[in-house]
Amino acid sequence: MAISDSSDNFRHLYDTVLMHYVRNSLVLLVGVCAMAVVWGVPSAWLVTRYDFPARRIFRWALLLPIAMPAYLVAFVYTDLLDYAGPVQIALRDWFGWQSQQDYWFVDMRTMGGAIFVLSLVFSPYVYWLVSLNFSEQSQSLIHAARLLGRSEWQIFIKVVLPLARPAIAVGCTLVGMETLADYGTVAYFSVWHITTAIYDTWLQLSDLSAAAKLSCLLLLFIVVLITLERRGRRNMRLYSDRHTPMLRVPLSGIKAWLATGWCMLILGFGFLLPAGWLLSRAVRYFTDTDWPAFGRMTIQTLTVSFSAALMAALVAFLLHCYARVRSRKGQWTLRIASLGYAIPGTVLAIGVLIVTTSVDHSLNAVTRSIGYGNVGLLLSGTLFAMTLAFVCRFSAVAIGAVETGMAKVPTSFDESAYLNGYSYSETSRLIWLPLLRNSLLTAFLLVFLESMKELSAALLLRPFNVQMLSTYIYEYMTSEMFEVAALPALLMVVAGLPAVLLLTYSMDKR
Amino acid sequence: MKMRILAAVLAAATTGSALADVNVYSYRQEFLIKPMLEAFTKETGIKVNTIYVKDGLAERIKQEGEHSPADIVLTVDISRLEELVNEGLTQPIESEVVDANIPANMRGNEWVALTQRARAVYSSKERVGKLPDSFTYLDLAKDEYKGKICTRSGKHPYNVSLVASIIEHEGAEAAKEWLQGVKANLARKPQGNDRVQVKAIMEGVCDYSLGNSYYYGKMLTNEKEPEQKQWAESAVINFPDQETYGTHMNVSGVALAKYAPNKEEAMQLIDFLTGDQAQHMYAEDNFEYPVNPNVQPSELVASWGDFKKDEVDITKVASHYQEALKLVDEVQFDL
């Protein structure tokens, strides 16, 4: 599609706004990744290495922002920090300012605002992967550094951090892909980037080939990102086999409170504040609630997310089994399957639409030829299409989650299995599957959470009379009628909480 | 387990389409049209199935081809209707009821307009007051308005339609100059929706904003979020171009899908939507201007006064849509 006739529209974009969009994409990408590291890495180090008040709670609570959709957090902060919002009203009351001209205040609808919000809600990826890595690092290295007279700070910078680099890189890749594919949040903040251009050319100018070209450009971004990350740690095999359990250093006095304060800051900005705001709104409009409709929406959302998560975990498992058996081809398959994450939801949705409708057309041709008549759009006209889109989009997350688990299964296990006459399928079923149980659970939970929040593909692929929590919230949110959406928004976050808790549990079990 | 879910989903979907319902694909938001669809079901007993979509409907219908379950498509503007017609996704609407209900300039062979909204200019009650009749859209580009204008994204269909109408009246060059002028006068980067601009007037961010007329009614009567009443009360609604072409009107409309499986029921729904009851609901609930001349605007809308509407052929405006969209990029309006 992308290399078909060169259209005027692409030329037009190139001449007018494309470079601006590309620049915005880069700034956003670097900004969000950097900030996600700033939020995620120190907090991961604090909760694994030290003991301080409420550490046990932060250990899992720092994952909570992942239950919040970015567009929702964006909306909350805009509402809070607006000129007419509570913060500015309070400031005006205190200082006696009269109008906007009297003082300067942060504007959320800027690049900075977008980076702040996106990095907050995506930072759990970095936190989660890095804290796993920290807890697996060998204590003996830290002891050795200690004996050689290094300070805590030097240990963190010179020993721990370099060892955590692969985890940081994988976390940043996930954050980067989420960022580039985001549409709802950046559109809300009027920060236009390359995804915007894809939307415009495809859905406003109806120019598929120009949109496909832009999508290729976006994919190029991603491939460069992934390749750089992989090259950077090509020769790293840094794990120490001798694993001494982590001994936590107790913090006291000001240090302990600083540690608690830092974790509290992230939790507060990323979860408590938006959740509290949602709760207050939900309480305020509680009596207007249309319970049966919300019940239906919740069930539909959970059904789709559950099926998508199950399928994605299965796909990740099968692909990893394949990669284990056919190393080179398998690795490529894994990388390609992961690219879906970077494709904006709408583009992916249209891709899924094209595939499912053509299968539907063939199916109908078959049923007609055997005299059964038309069966209609069995795949594209049902929840199947939406589920498939979610699977394509979030397989990367599942693959990433299973990857670390698979790496820990020694190849000697496979060899002894083959020597004992096990077939590939027996090996995968009887050896890999039980060993990967926790990784698969993690994969399932992550995809489940992501599917509940996913918006663009759901907006496009909904079958008749189906409303998802995400689409409902977004529609009313963008129409400045949040009063209607507060309760479903809260429902969505609450529905994600058990998954977040289970996620910490699976983290502990590794 | 997965197969069972899948099977249940498929069963639900196929049994759903076996009944003679009307299947509606809608660009218009649920809260704006659900009451009319419910009234239709109540009157005729015909169930209405809906899909609400923001983008990409035409693409979806195209891909679904002859198996598309879509009977009718509701859109927020004429450009979307034209897109459907141009892509060959619609069929002629032949109905005496529609012909009797809707004036000839508000319908094409394969589409019918259902409501009209004025692209109004809101001004600050306190700092500006009501604008004179001589005020035009073109005035917004004048130097005296520097730093005083707020608007949503230039690429939103409502704004693109306005630019397209300026292209139709004044030519592309003038439209580009106008966009450049308005951009230079903006108080802040284009953002938010039409309501948010009125809010910005209250906040003192700007003195003028572009916005559709029905939002004024929606805000003034918002009992759930009374703050919005204050936003609206801080602004005056103005209808520009009274001494020239008349105020630009954008329309919402309906098209009959090419492969509509339930054509008869679909036609009943189209007839219903153009009829007195539905048009009255559009007027009273949504504060839109009814297209059916028998139906009066709501009392609140009528209180904003009579004004001259731009009577230009709306299909001509729609034909400039892509050109207008590109102009918005060319002047980097949103950046």
Q: What is the pLDDT of residues B48-75, one digit of tens each?
A: 999 988 778 888 899 899 999 999 999 9
Output the average pLDDT for chain B.
90
The yes-or-no verdict on residue A155 having pLDDT over 90 is no
CB A396 within 8 A of CB A340: yes
Q: What is the ipTM of this complex?
A: 0.83
Mean pLDDT of A409-424: 86
Our measurement of the distance from residue A257's CA atom to the centroid of its chain's CA atoms, rounded to an integer in Å, reads: 30
**Chain A interface test: which of B9, B31, B49, B195 (most A C-beta within 10 Å):** B9
Q: What is the DSSP string of A251-269?
A: P-HHHHHHHHHHHHHHHII
Q: Which of B53, B68, B329 sits opposite A12 (nearest CB)?
A: B329
State the DSSP H helix or E strand holding residue B192, giving kind and residue range, or none if neither.
none
Inter-chain residue contact A109 with B10, CB threshold 8 Å: no
Find all residues with CB under 8 Å of A225, minimum gap 6, and list them: A29, A173, A176, A177
Both tokens assigned to B174: 């003038």
The yes-or-no verdict on residue A226 having pLDDT over 80 is no
Inter-chain residue contact B64 with A378, CB threshold 8 Å: no
Inter-chain residue contact A190 with B53, CB threshold 8 Å: no
Query: What is the three-class DSSP state of B212?
Result: strand
Residues in B touching A206 (Cβ below 8 Å): 58-59, 83, 87
CB B188 within 8 A of CB B146: no
**Residue A308 confidence (pLDDT):** 96
* Closest approach of A178 to chain B, Cα-based (Å): 21
Inter-chain residue contact A475 with B63, CB threshold 8 Å: no
* Closest approach of A313 to chain B, Cα-based (Å): 12
Instruction: Confirm whether pTM is higher than 0.80.
Output: yes
Q: For residue range B206-237, what is the model confidence (pLDDT) as tens digits?
A: 999 999 999 999 999 988 888 899 999 999 99
In angstroms, the CA A455 to CA A458 distance is 5
Inter-chain residue contact B205 with A384, CB threshold 8 Å: no
Q: Which of A206, A361, A483 sits opposite B83 (nearest CB)?
A: A206
**Residue A236 confidence (pLDDT):** 55
Count of other CB atoms within 10 angstroms of residue B247: 21
Inter-chain residue contact A84 with B330, CB threshold 8 Å: no
Q: Are strands B249-256 and B111-124 parallel, antiparallel or unpaired?
A: antiparallel
Q: For residue range A34-80, what is the model confidence (pLDDT) as tens digits?
A: 999 999 999 999 999 899 999 989 999 999 999 899 989 999 998 88
What is the band of A313 on the pLDDT scale with cuts at 50, 70, 90? very high
Query: What is the three-class DSSP state of B237?
Result: strand
What is the band of B16 on the pLDDT scale with cuts at 50, 70, 90? very low
Inter-chain residue contact B16 with A464, CB threshold 8 Å: yes
Weakest-pLDDT range from A314-328, B10-24, B111-125: B10-24
**Chain B interface test: which of A281, A377, A473 (most B C-beta within 10 Å):** A377
The yes-or-no verdict on residue B41 having pLDDT over 70 is yes
Mean pLDDT of B239-268: 95
Inter-chain residue contact B6 with A378, CB threshold 8 Å: no
Residues in A touching B332 (Cβ below 8 Å): 16-17, 20
Both tokens assigned to A329: 């081809």
Q: For residue range B88-145, what is the model confidence (pLDDT) as tens digits?
A: 999 999 999 999 999 998 999 999 999 999 999 999 999 999 999 999 999 999 999 9
Residues in B touching A106 (Cβ below 8 Å): none
CB contacts < 8 Å between A and B, how many?
A: 167
Q: Chain A: residue nearest B215 by CA?
A: A479
Q: For residue range A178-194, what is the model confidence (pLDDT) as tens digits?
A: 888 888 888 888 888 88
Inter-chain residue contact B335 with A288, CB threshold 8 Å: no
Q: What is the DSSP letter of B73?
A: E
Q: Which of A203, A360, A481 sits opposite B55 (nearest CB)?
A: A203
**Residue A249 confidence (pLDDT):** 86
What is the band of A6 on the pLDDT scale with cuts at 50, 70, 90? low
Residues in B touching A307 (Cβ below 8 Å): 2, 5-6
Taking only residues 271 to 290 of chain B, the set having a beta carbon closer than 8 angstroms to any beta carbon of chain A reads none
Burial class (CB in 10 A: 0-12, 13-18, 19+), A217: middle
CB A357 within 8 A of CB A349: no
Residues in B touching A372 (Cβ below 8 Å): none
Inter-chain residue contact A346 with B322, CB threshold 8 Å: no
Query: What is the three-class DSSP state of A217?
Result: helix
Inter-chain residue contact B332 with A383, CB threshold 8 Å: no
Inter-chain residue contact A483 with B225, CB threshold 8 Å: yes
Give the CA distances from residue B121 to residues B133, B151, B166, B197, in Å, rounded to whole numbers and listed in that order: 12, 10, 15, 11
**Chain B interface test: which of A204, A354, A387 (most B C-beta within 10 Å):** A204
Output the average pLDDT for chain A.
86
**Chain B interface test: which of A77, A462, A465, A482 (most B C-beta within 10 Å):** A465
Angle at which helices A291-325 and A327-338 pack, to 10 degrees? 160
In angstroms, the CA B223 to CA B226 distance is 5
Taking only residues 100 to 159 of chain B, the set having a beta carbon closer than 8 angstroms to any beta carbon of chain A reads 153, 155
Inter-chain residue contact B53 with A459, CB threshold 8 Å: yes
Q: Chain A: residue nearest B22 by CA?
A: A464
**Chain B interface test: which of A183, A464, A473, A483 (most B C-beta within 10 Å):** A464
Q: Chain A: residue nearest B224 by CA?
A: A483
Using alpha carbons only, give the angle B172, B176, B182 rounded to the nearest 5 degrees. 140
Inter-chain residue contact B13 with A354, CB threshold 8 Å: no
Both tokens assigned to B62: 């195209």
In this complex, is the C-beta atom of B51 within 8 Å of any C-beta atom belonging to chain A? yes
Find all residues with CB under 8 Å of A424, minimum gap 6, and list them: A321, A325
Inter-chain residue contact A109 with B83, CB threshold 8 Å: no
**Residue A279 confidence (pLDDT):** 92
Q: Give the E-state strand segments of chain B in sequence order.
A: 22-26, 48-52, 72-75, 111-124, 149-150, 208-212, 235-238, 249-256, 289-290
The yes-or-no verdict on residue A240 having pLDDT over 60 is no
* Closest approach of A383 to chain B, Cα-based (Å): 7
Residues in B touching A203 (Cβ below 8 Å): 55-56, 59
* Closest approach of B244 to chain A, Cα-based (Å): 30
Query: What is the three-class DSSP state of B209?
Result: strand
Inter-chain residue contact B322 with A381, CB threshold 8 Å: no
Q: What is the DSSP letter of A99?
A: S
**Chain B interface test: which of A206, A284, A480 (most B C-beta within 10 Å):** A480
Q: For residue range A447-466, what is the model confidence (pLDDT) as tens digits?
A: 999 999 888 888 888 888 88
Q: For residue range B278-290, what is the model confidence (pLDDT) as tens digits?
A: 999 999 999 999 9
**Residue B18 confidence (pLDDT):** 42
The yes-or-no verdict on residue B191 having pLDDT over 70 is yes
In this complex, is the C-beta atom of B229 within 8 Å of any C-beta atom belonging to chain A? no
Burial class (CB in 10 A: 0-12, 13-18, 19+), A165: middle
State the DSSP H helix or E strand holding residue A5, giving kind and residue range, or none if neither.
none
